[in-house]
């Protein structure tokens, strides 16, 4: 279970209060929590903070029995020790590596999720030898999801994985995301600014607005 109770402040903002964010929630095993918020509401900042790429101002982040962050006790695990599977808005595939090398980048030996299974679920076997530059937007996101899964994460963090795609491609990729959820059953945090998208994927939805997470009305 992922337990998050943090306060985030952007330290370099001219008006620090304007970028303050408070988040408190639990993510149960096998559950998909959707967070919906307008652009600039802090959705990406929240995911980056959970993954360890950013440091919150105060609070705690726990994953099971592990304490990833505790401001009072001075605990701050670096991103490479947290085992989060992050899927970025723009895919962020490594351009100098083939699809297969991208998939294998974070894959430890003897993991629970196998390369063959991921390739089969996401139907990306035929792309294995291609470079990211030779892929369409939808293919890139499927590979990015596969790469995150193969790092054997304890939690999957999806940062608007469909926002860079046109409507037709969105409809192509959406079933794959649902298939990943049901096949691997990983606790997932899914953020997007599109309410319908979050409603379709997530088991539960929270709204991020004015620096606070709240239940939808």
Interacting residues with other proteins (CB under 8 A): 51-53, 78-86, 88, 90, 92, 94-96, 105-106, 108, 131, 147-148, 151
- Tokens standing for 6? 């943090």
Which helix (H) or strand (E) segment is 26 a member of? strand 21-27
Q: Rounded to the nearest whole angstrom, what is the least distance from the CB of residue 76 to other proteins in the complex?
A: 14
Q: Rounded to the nearest whole angstrom, what is the least distance from the CB of residue 217 to other proteins in the complex?
A: 33
Look up residue 10 and give its DSSP letter. Answer: -
Total H helices, total E strands in the chain: 7, 11
Nearest to 201 by CA among 32, 28, 30: 32
Cβ proximity to other proteins, 85 vs 207, nearer residue: 85
Q: Rounded to the nearest whole angstrom, what is the least distance from the CB of residue 180 to other proteins in the complex?
A: 17
Cβ(22)–Cβ(212) below 8 Å: yes
Look up residue 108 and give its DSSP letter. Answer: -
Q: What DSSP string describes 38-80?
A: -TTSSHHHHHHHHHTSS--SEEEEEETTEEEEETTTTEE--HH
- Tokens standing for 201? 């994927």
Q: Rounded to the nearest whole angstrom, what is the least distance from the CB of residue 92 to other proteins in the complex?
A: 4
Q: Rounded to the nearest whole angstrom, what is the least distance from the CB of residue 59 to other proteins in the complex?
A: 20
Cβ(107)–Cβ(152) below 8 Å: yes
Cβ proximity to other proteins, 95 vs 175, nearer residue: 95
Cβ proximity to other proteins, 105 vs 209, nearer residue: 105
Residue 168: other Cβ atoms inside 10 A: 8
Q: Rounded to the nearest whole angstrom, what is the least distance from the CB of residue 210 to other proteins in the complex?
A: 27
Give me the torsion for CA of 167, 41, 32, 6, rounded to 10°: 160
Cβ proximity to other proteins, 98 vs 212, nearer residue: 98
């Amino acid at each position: 279970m992922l337990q998050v109770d943090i306060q985030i402040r952007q330290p370099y903002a001219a008006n620090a209060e304007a970028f303050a964010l408070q988040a408190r929630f639990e993510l149960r095993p096998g559950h998909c929590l959707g967070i919906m918020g307008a652009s600039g509401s802090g959705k990406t900042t929240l995911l980056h903070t959970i993954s360890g790429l950013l440091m919150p101002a105060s609070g705690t982040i726990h994953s099971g029995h592990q304490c990833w962050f505790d401001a009072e006790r001075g605990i701050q695990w670096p991103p490479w020790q947290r085992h989060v599977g992050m899927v970025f808005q723009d895919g962020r595939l490594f351009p100098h590596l083939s699809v297969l090398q991208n998939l294998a980048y974070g894959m430890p030996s003897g993991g629970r999720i196998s390369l063959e299974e991921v390739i089969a679920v996401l139907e990306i076997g035929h792309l294995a030898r291609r470079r990211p530059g030779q892929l369409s937007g939808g293919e890139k996101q499927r590979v990015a999801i596969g790469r995150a899964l193969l790092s054997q994460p304890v939690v999957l963090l999806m940062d608007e994985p469909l926002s860079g795609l046109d409507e037709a491609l969105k409809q192509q990729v959406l079933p794959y995301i649902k298939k990943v959820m049901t096949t691997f059953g990983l606790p997932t945090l899914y953020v997007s600014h599109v309410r319908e998208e979050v409603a379709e994927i997530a088991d539960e939805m929270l709204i991020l607005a004015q620096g606070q997470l709240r239940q939808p009305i």
